[in-house]
Structures are given as C-alpha cells and as structure tokens.
Amino acid sequence: MAEKVTTVIAFVVVCVGFLVALALVVQIVDSMSASASRTLAAERRERWEARALATRVAIGRRLPRSAPDRTAPAGAGGRPG
C-alpha cells in the first residue's frame, strides 16, 4: 500500500514539475517574440490609420460646403431675445 501512495505522489510531483518547466519555456519564447509582435502591430495600426484618414477625407469631400444647422429651430439663431 505504501508503495502505491509513494508512486502516486512521485507521479504528481513529476507532473507539476513538467507544468512549471513548460510555463517557463512558454514565457521565454513569448518574451523573445514580443518585439516582433509589437512591430507587426505598429505596422498594422499605421495602415489602419492611413485608411481611416483617407475615408474621413473622402466623406468630407462629399458633404455640402455650408450645411444648414438643423439642431436649432428656424429663426432662433442662438441670440438672446
């Protein structure tokens, strides 16, 4: 009976040790590739900002130059009366 308990405890200790070693390896690999991921993300963000700016410019060109203010009632003009 004691041999089985010792075997189970040893198996659990080996499994926990394996998980700790795996976590360390993953952390090291992740830290090595983090700079490349940040560079890629910065490039994607620059492309997205350029597209967003181009879209805003294109939308702005399609709007009328002097659109009437539709929020105020007619004749109000915002002046105290």
pLDDT digits (tens, 9 = 90+) for 23-66: 999 999 988 888 888 889 999 999 999 998 888 888 877 766 66
pTM of the model: 0.45
Number of folded domains in the chain?
1
pLDDT class of 16 with cuts at 50, 70, 90: very high
Its sign, for the CA torsion 31, 35, 37, 38, is: positive
User: Alpha-carbon distance 79 to 25, whole Å?
Assistant: 70
Is the residue at 62 inside a domain?
no
Inform me whether the pLDDT recorded for 69 exceeds 70.
no
CA torsion, ordered 37, 39, 40, 44, to nearest 10 deg: 130
Domain of residue 22, residue span: 1-27
Instruction: Place 68 in a pLDDT band, splitting at 50, 70 and 90.
Output: low
d(CA 14, CA 6): 12
Q: Please report the pLDDT score of residue 80 as a whole number.
A: 55
Instruction: State both tokens at 9.
Output: 């405890």
In a domain, 80, yes or no: no
Q: Is the CB of residue 64 less than 8 Å from the CB of residue 70? A: no
